[in-house]
Structure 1
Amino acid sequence: MNFDSDYRMLIGGELVTGSATLDVVNPANEEVIASVPDATQDDLDKAIAAARTAFPAWAATPIAERKAKLAALGQAIMANADPLMRLLTKEQGKPHAESQGEVMGAGYWLMAASQLDLPVTVNEDSDDRYSETRHVPLGVVGAIAPWNFPMILAMFKVGPALLAGNTMVLKPSPFTPLSTLKFGELAAQLLPPGVLNIVTGSDDLGPWMTSHPGFDKISFTGSTATGKRVMQSAAPTLKRVTLELGGNDAAIVMPDVDVEKVAEELFWAAFRNNGQICIATKRMYVHKDIYDQLRDALVAYAKTVKVGDGSEQGTHIGPINNKQQYARVLELIQDAKDKGYKFLVGGEKADVPGYFVPVTILDNPPEDARIVQEEQFGPVLPLLKFDDVDDVVARANATDYGLGGSVWGNDEDKAFEIAQRIASGTVWVNETQHLSPMAAFGGMKQSGVGVEGGVEGLLEYTNAQTIVRKKRKEAVAA
């Protein structure tokens, strides 16, 4: 298996090239590193048809066998972790260590998801009738994965969808398709033809999928703005949707924290993966009693962090993944400059090839600043002062987003109490970004619809079916 070339789509168990291609760019140097198929509508139709053909047999396959296939697929990812990691760094930009963690996490996620079970609920078992509710697969799922964590976020969808008995057509981001296509080669060896299909393409492919009548469900991870278009496009055929969308996560740092101990962890809560995480800390509210101390500690640590090519030893933070997002982050920085906000570190565009933005921290901008109100999805963090818990909870909740958040404090009970007041789908106490395949993850408000992970996420890929059997009186008497 050659990881450096020969990138083909997976349709009906066959690896296919397609009639057109699109280029993939290394964000660290803006050089084209590969070309991948640019799927046509006919390619998509074939992938959906293959998934539809494979569905009855896969749905009828005993769940124990489906579990075994998923576990084997997870093991195959782990067995190929090194070449997949290097490929992921080339296309996404993140350092090798982070790519290694993502690839291993993708394998682990499939293996863990294979341990879940579909529940059966007995509603009634009386002399008159027996009633149970079980969960049956939806059919063909269209999955659209993003560019920030292309491998593991795809597995968030592949694992539960296939375990539940559905078949799938998966579309990776056009910015990061390479590792997913190589994953497709592994899947071709382990799954029945048509159970998992992978198509790549440019901007037209996503809308073709969301509006296509051949899909029974769309699972999408991406921005809130795009998520709204996905929901609108899915409406005419009443497709089921799971939408994991944007966030503007607030961290609340209480005055009793040990600043020296938490400063590094708080830094990475905001800047891990270059801030390109939906559940990264996007706003950091710091109690006035420790504001200056934590501010200085964060700035001092930021100056030790190396920004550079993720394939180079010693790099902590890579480039922004793509030119569009790079321009978006620079625009927010320029807006902050135009408004006269104070920069503690960073704020200057790096004069080198690649989509590099230095670690940037702002000193207490106003609450209505764009950098506070909007999701930056890059290495820019506003620090904000507070002195009243009720006020900071209100400020944290004053957003259309509700994906994640965190509370930090030595008094864990107090921090836990505050966490319960945050209107977000997941709130962490004294950590952040910990997700589990055994726990539901999803957003409130405009951060999404539905959940991924856990039994709740598995059930998103099913219809509830209640079976009621009227008992014959003679059978009861017997």
Structure 2
Amino acid sequence: MVRVLHNVVAGASVASEGTLLDLVSPVTGEVYAQAPVSTDAEVDAAVAAAAAAFPAWKRATPAERQLALFRLADALEARAEEFADLESEDTGKPRATLVADEIVQSVDQLRFFAGAARELNGRAAAEYAEGFTSYVRREPIGVVAQVTPWNYPLNMAVWKIGPAIAAGNTVVLKPSETTPQTTVLLAEIAAEFLPPGVFNVVLGDRDTGRALVEHPTPQLVAITGSVRAGMQVAASAAQGLKRVHLELGGKAPAIVFADADLEAAASGIAEAAFFNAGQDCTAATRLLVHSSLHDAFVERLVAYVEQNVRVGAPDDPDAFFGPVNNPDQLARVEGFIDRLPAHAQVATGGTRVGGTGCFFAPTVVTGLRQDDELVQQEVFGPVLAVQSFETEEEALELANGVPYALAASVWTRDNGRSLRLSRDLDFGCVWINAHIPFVSDMPHGGFKHSGYGKDLSIYGFEDYTRLKHVMASLA
């Protein structure tokens, strides 16, 4: 019998009266579970539970919030294999590396935000006007509505709930309709450590997400998703003057200069381009390589990809990445290749792999121009676009000349060049001689069409707080 998932509201598993969606394996195309499309009334009930829980959770001490998140992190760590099984089933990711690649990071991120709960910073109390003492309170915002994507379901849930709960907010989160299992399990486990209503999960599709975002109670809406979805959320939130936290798409350049360590650059960029089937908003999606080494470097890169970057099923121990998430996403990736202009060439890949599932070969496309669709638009699949440049100034112009501004990398041994470019690249994160490593302590977020607001770090924590000035007369 196909199992059916439930919402988690006020710490309890609650069956939905909404229609059921099939969860379809991106590996086999078979239905393995069902999840509901929650009704507006069920969204309202989850928000009401969060609102009821907020006054007490707001007054909980930072130490109490910290302890709850530490216990949740410990429970996640203890059940890492179970989480990895569910994540692999939903996404098709290689099972052998999931614990190390993602579950361990989620545990660390929860522990970071547990520590952040006790770092409520503000101006020192002082007399800024004669006869008055002023101080600043950093307070939770209230009920927070959150929407997470399908590329890193557990990681993104942790990135969202960790800072929100640590700061004293309560949460209603809707995961992607195609990858809900680990979020539901996280909420079920959290019910052991958090008061009822602090962390609620409602399942559903875009309509469910819209009902949550448009609900009048939440005071902050946080979403990781597409630019289109972010714009819709921002427009909706504006009607109620809600705060918005957007982490959206990317089109990250990796800029390789002639003095770079070419072996390290080829392997690092290949892995950063194709990890998680390229379904990563910080993935290295554009290779900008100096004209003097363009042909030789592309040859080196392609050789590395063909020898080391293999697409395969979750149980394939040699697979570097698995399928894209769903048939619609596979069709989107194929469409970019089908529409390539005549001046572009596919150096490797460019085709679907196998007759079942949503597998697509790691693909490198050369000969591209700045106004080409593959340069300007996010694919969110295993496709790397290649361009060449002559000067540092041209590299900077090409890199910055897209709507997205999330991440970039520079590959060079020239310290002055790396500092100049890290200053002038218009991206929220710039790596030097690396691409894609994350740490819980540093902020993640972009500019322009990549959104605004920061995940991770103390800055991500502060995004879930508000400031209040208190001024007392000394008379």
Report the TM range for the smaller structure's normalisation.
over 0.9
The runs of 4+ residues in structure 1 deviating greater than 4 Å are none
| Candidates 149, 165, 169, aligned match of 2:168 | 165
Q: What are the ranges of 5 or more consecutive residues in structure 2 without an aligned counterpart? A: none
Residue 443 of structure 1: CA displacement?
1.0
Q: What's 1:120 paired with? A: 122
For each residue in 1:4-63, what CA deviation from the matched residue of structure 2 results, as whole angstroms up to 9, or x when unmatched?
956321101111121232211110111111112321111111100000000000000101
- Contact between 1:407 and 1:416, CA under 8 Å: does it hold in 2? no
User: What is the CA–CA distance in structure 1 between the aligned matches of 2:460 and 2:410, rounded to whole Å?
Assistant: 25
Does 165-174 or 101-110 show the bigger shift?
A: 101-110
Aligned mates of 1:230, 1:258 — CA distance in 2: 43
Name whichever of 193-202 and 125-134 sits farther off: 125-134
Provide the residue aligned with 1:192 in structure 2.
Answer: 195
CA gap 1:5/1:111 in 2 versus in 1, 3 angstroms: farther
Q: Does 1:270 align with 2:273?
A: yes
Say whether residues 1:80 and 2:91 are aligned partners: no
User: Measured at CA, do residues 417 and 123 of structure 1 come closer, stay the same or move farther in structure 2, by a change above 3 Å?
Assistant: farther
Q: Secondary structure at the match of 1:343?
A: strand
Asked if structure 1 preserves the Cα contact closer than 8 Å seen for 2:96 and 2:317, the reply is no
Q: Which residue of 1 aligns with 2:13?
A: 15
Q: For 1:455 and 1:259, locate their aligned partners in 2 and report how far apart those are by CA, in whole Å.
A: 35
Answer yes or no: is 1:463 the counterpart of 2:466.
Answer: yes
- SS of the residue aligned with 1:277? coil
Q: Which residue of 2 aligns with 1:255?
A: 258
Measured in 2, the distance between the counterparts of 1:65 and 1:332 equals 50
Aligned residue in 1 for 2:138: 135
Determine which of 314, 319, 339 is the counterpart of 1:315: 319
In structure 2, the residue corresponding to 1:344 is in which secondary structure?
Answer: strand
Q: CA deviation at 1:373?
A: 1.0
Q: Judge which range, 233-242 or 432-441, deviates more.
A: 432-441
State the Cα distance separating 1:98 from its structure 2 match. Answer: 4.3
Native 8 Å contact 2:343 2:368 kept in 1:
no
CA deviation after TM superposition for structure 1 residue 258, in Å: 2.0
Map 1:343-358 onto structure 2 (within 5 A): 343-358=346-361
Counterpart check, 1:387 vs 2:365 = no
SS in 1 for 2:63: helix
Give the count of matched residue pairs: 468
Q: Which amino acid aligns with 1:122?
A: A
List gaps (5 residues or longer) in structure 1: 473-478
Conserved 8 A contact 2:126-2:134: yes
1:355 aligns to what SS in structure 2? coil
Contact 1:259–1:293 (Cα < 8 Å) also in 2: no
Offset at 1:380?
A: 0.8
Contact 1:221 1:245 in 2 (8 A): yes
In structure 2, C-alpha distance between the alignment counterparts of 1:421 and 1:328, rounded to whole Å: 32
Task: Assess, with a 3 A threshold, how the Cα gap between structure 1 residues 391 and 123 changes in structure 2: closer, same or farther.
Answer: farther
Q: Secondary structure in 2 aligned to 1:434? A: coil
Cα offsets for 1:210-257 (capped at 9, x unmatched): 111021110000011110000011111111110001111111111101
Is 1:327 aligned to residue 331 of structure 2? yes
Percentage identity across paired residues of the two chains = 36
Question: What's 1:103 paired with?
Answer: 103
In the alignment, is the contact (CA less than 8 A) between 2:11 and 2:188 conserved in 1?
no
TM-score (normalised: structure 1): 0.95
Structure-2 separation of matches of 1:436 and 1:319: 26
Q: CA deviation at 1:414?
A: 2.1
Cα distance in 1 for residues equivalent to 2:134 and 2:268: 51
Could you give the per-residue CA deviations for residues 345-396 of structure 1, whole angstroms, max 9, x where no partner exists?
1112224101111111012212211111111111111111111000110111
Residue 313 of structure 1 aligns with an amino acid whose one-letter code is: P
Determine the structure 1 residue equivalent to 2:147.
144
Question: Counterpart in 2 of 1:286?
Answer: 289
SS at the partner of 1:194?
coil
Report if the CA contact (8 A) 1:329-1:376 is conserved: yes
How far did residue 442 of structure 1 move?
1.3
Letter in 2 for 1:74: A
What secondary structure does 2:402 align onto?
coil
Q: Report the counterpart of residue 420 of structure 1 in structure 2.
A: 423
Deviation at 1:411, TM superposition (A): 2.0
Q: Summarize the alignment of residues 366-445 of structure 1 with structure 2, pairs less than 5 Å apart.
A: 366-445=369-448
- Specify the code of the residue in structure 1 equivalent to 2:355: V
Once the two structures are TM-superposed, the CA of residue 413 in structure 1 deviates from its matched residue by 3.5
Secondary structure in 1 matching 2:144: strand
TM-score, normalised via structure 2 length: 0.96
Contact 1:412–1:429 under 8 Å retained in 2: no
- What does residue 45 of structure 1 align with? 44
Alignment partner, residue 58 of structure 2: 59
> Any idea what SS the aligned residue of 1:115 has?
helix
Distance between the aligned counterparts of 1:223 and 1:160, measured in 2?
22
